[in-house]
Amino acid sequence: MDEIDLRSDTVTQPTPRMRQAMAQAPVGDDVYGEDPTVNALEERAAALLGQEAALFCATGSLANLLGVWLCAGPGGEILCDSQAHIVRAELGAHARLHGVGTRTWDSAAGVPDPAVVAALVAEPSDHLVATKAVELENTHNFGGGTVIPWPTVQAVAALAAERGLAFHLDGARLGNASIAAGRPLADFGRLATTVTLCLSKGLGAPVGSILASSRERVAAARGRRKLLGGGWRQAGVLAAAGLYALDHNLDRLADDHDNARLFAAAVAEQAPAAVPPTVPTNIVILGTGGLDAVATAAAAAAEGVRLSVLGPRQLRAVTHLGVDAAQCQTAGRLLGRLLGPGR
């Protein structure tokens, strides 16, 4: 049996057509600003995200590192969800490299209460760390692919503007949020001071993420990226994959959402308690009940289905362009069997 890999939407392989686009891309030295394909991708991504300019980065973590630095560093603090990728999954880079502190709010599945966010803002003073920025993650990864509703994004952006704070939007999966909410990427992007987008997840590129912002901020981020060792040369071969992804793989994210729901429904046939009440996008967080998550993931892997372990009693399945509806149902039935009462 072919392996069904639902650990992450980062496991996608470039398709033959994407590889063809990469092979044919005109390239130049991007540190000199001379790679036409990188320049085209940056222009295209900026327009899509409703910003003036964009920077092509190796990873989403680097794009976030630069965005948070622009918004809050050095020495300031950024407010964010306690389950945010920037606090949990980037190895403390914002603190370690840029002296940025975080204070966090708790939420249901990643959707903040704007009043709770407002209450966290520190008044300027001589003894409190200065609050410089607010961060949202849309969709919210550890929240289970949650789409932060449009009115909530607007309320947080308005709060930031009122209090003189920057607003960083971790849009690693903003394409998924855009498709699920039926709103263009630019609607979300233009509310942010800095916004990121991963090309290497559901969009299917092998490498790369975007940071978008004003021309001035992007110029500063370009210098900072070089300082961190992230300047690259004929990166157009990678940017070509990103352009291909933006042209062909945004709308199809809806299929991933459908497949995630099929997966959850198949699990629920035998293990209804394991699945969340709704599946908003391409992520399904399964509760293992009394079972050990590591052992359950190993049992699933032994039968050809790979999931990631989020916690001692939590597994995560992520759909993507490398798995079809039938595979998601097959995987769901297996997990239902492993997690259901009949096991």
Ligand X SMILES: *Cc1c(COP(=O)(O)O)cnc(C)c1O
Q: Minimum CB separation from ligand X for residue 113, in Å?
A: 20
* Minimum CB distance to ligand X smaller for 320 or for 334: 320
* Minimum CB distance to ligand X smaller for 76 or for 230: 230
Q: Minimum CB separation from ligand X for residue 170, in Å?
A: 5
In terms of DSSP bridges, do strands 77-81 and 101-105 run parallel, antiparallel, or are they unpaired? parallel
* Minimum CB distance to ligand X smaller for 209 or for 288: 209
Q: Minimum CB separation from ligand X for residue 54, in Å?
A: 16
* Minimum CB distance to ligand X smaller for 73 or for 143: 143
Q: Minimum CB separation from ligand X for residue 82, in Å?
A: 14
**Which DSSP letter does residue 46 get?**
H
Tokens standing for residue 137: 């993650």
Q: Minimum CB separation from ligand X for residue 184, in Å?
A: 20
* Minimum CB distance to ligand X smaller for 9 or for 35: 9
* Minimum CB distance to ligand X smaller for 42 or for 299: 42
Q: Which amino acid appears at position 213 of this protein?
A: S
Q: Half-sphere exposure of 161 toward its Cβ, with a 13 Å CA cutoff?
A: 10
The site for ligand X (CB under 6 A) is made up of 59-61, 64, 85, 137, 141, 170, 172, 198, 200, 209
Q: Are 245 and 18 in contact (CB under 8 A)?
A: yes
Helix 325-339 to helix 253-270 angle, to the nearest 10 degrees? 30
Q: Could you tell me which residues come within 8 angstroms of residue 81 by beta carbon, excluding any fewer than 6 positions away?
A: 87, 104, 105, 106, 107, 110, 112, 135, 136, 137, 140, 143
What is the chain's percent helix, strand, coil content, to nearest 5?
A: 45, 15, 35
Residue closest to ligand X when measured from CB atoms: 60
Closest residue by Cα to residue 107 from 70, 150, 62, 137: 137
* Minimum CB distance to ligand X smaller for 35 or for 170: 170
Q: Minimum CB separation from ligand X for residue 171, in Å?
A: 8
* Minimum CB distance to ligand X smaller for 37 or for 141: 141
Q: Minimum CB separation from ligand X for residue 176, in Å?
A: 10
Tokens standing for residue 115: 């009043």
Q: Are 332 and 267 in contact (CB under 8 A)?
A: yes
Q: Minimum CB separation from ligand X for residue 60, in Å?
A: 2
Q: Are 68 and 221 in contact (CB under 8 A)?
A: no
What does the radius of gyration of the chain's CA atoms come to, in whole angstroms? 20
Type and span of the H or E element at 283: strand 283-287
CA angle in degrees (0–180, nearest 5) for 123-142-140: 65
